[in-house]
Amino acid sequence: MAQIQPRQNYLGAGGWVWAGKYKLERYLYALHRITGLGILLYLILHLLMTTAFRIQGQEVWEATMAFLHGPWFKLGEYLVVVAFAYHMVNGFRLILQELGFVMGRPIPPVYPYSDALRRKRPWAIAVVVVAVILSLVFLYDFVIGGW
């Protein structure tokens, strides 16, 4: 008789990208991780610049700034700002959810059922809208500042 193997549900890093039929919240989760890791990478570079380079005085600081004011670095900087805006807004949603503020009142299980995910969907949509608005405000500043 053939042994029934338990279903392999450990997907590792691949599970971030695909773990079945995804809903919006699952993409927000993946994006939260990606933006978090991106911001951490920037934090390390930023710390290096504000410590090792800054302590060397005005000349080194100004040379570093001139180098970092190129259009590609500006684009990278803008992406960091967008990542921050998204990570912050989605983080607030997660904090509210974690502390039970957006769970809604308990309701009787009457068909068609309204699951917790669907009831919290407006918050997920609000996150996307607010993050886009903040990104556009920052984009406006980047553009009028001469990029």
Partner 1 sequence: MRKTHLWFLQLISGALIAVLLGIHMGLMHLDDILIILGIDAVEPTSWDSMISRAMQVTWVALYIALLIVALYHALYGLRGVIIELTSSAAAKRAVTWIIIAFGLTAFIAGTYVPIALLSS
Least separation in angstroms between CB 127 and partner 1:
13
Are 86 and 130 spatial neighbours (Cβ–Cβ below 8 Å)? no
Least separation in angstroms between CB 71 and partner 1:
16
Q: Which is nearer to partner 1, 14 or 108 (CB)?
A: 14
Q: Which is nearer to partner 1, 4 or 13 (CB)?
A: 13
Please calculate the CA angle 19-23-27 and round it to the nearest 5 degrees. 75
Binding site for partner 1 (CB under 8 A): 10, 12-13, 33, 36-37, 39-40, 43-44, 47, 50-52, 54-55, 58, 61-62, 65, 69, 77, 81, 84, 88, 91-92, 95, 98-99, 137-138, 140-142, 144-145
Are 97 and 123 spatial neighbours (Cβ–Cβ below 8 Å)? yes
Least separation in angstroms between CB 40 and partner 1:
5
Q: Which is nearer to partner 1, 37 or 117 (CB)?
A: 37
Q: Which is nearer to partner 1, 5 or 115 (CB)?
A: 5
Specify the 3-state DSSP secondary structure of 140: helix
Handedness of CA 109, 113, 119, 120 (dihedral sign): positive
Least separation in angstroms between CB 131 and partner 1:
13
The Cα–Cα gap between 69 and 113 comes to: 54
Could you report how far apart the first and last alpha carbons of the chain are, in Å?
A: 69
Are 123 and 102 spatial neighbours (Cβ–Cβ below 8 Å)? yes
Least separation in angstroms between CB 70 and partner 1:
13
- DSSP category for residue 113: P
Q: Which is nearer to partner 1, 20 or 108 (CB)?
A: 20
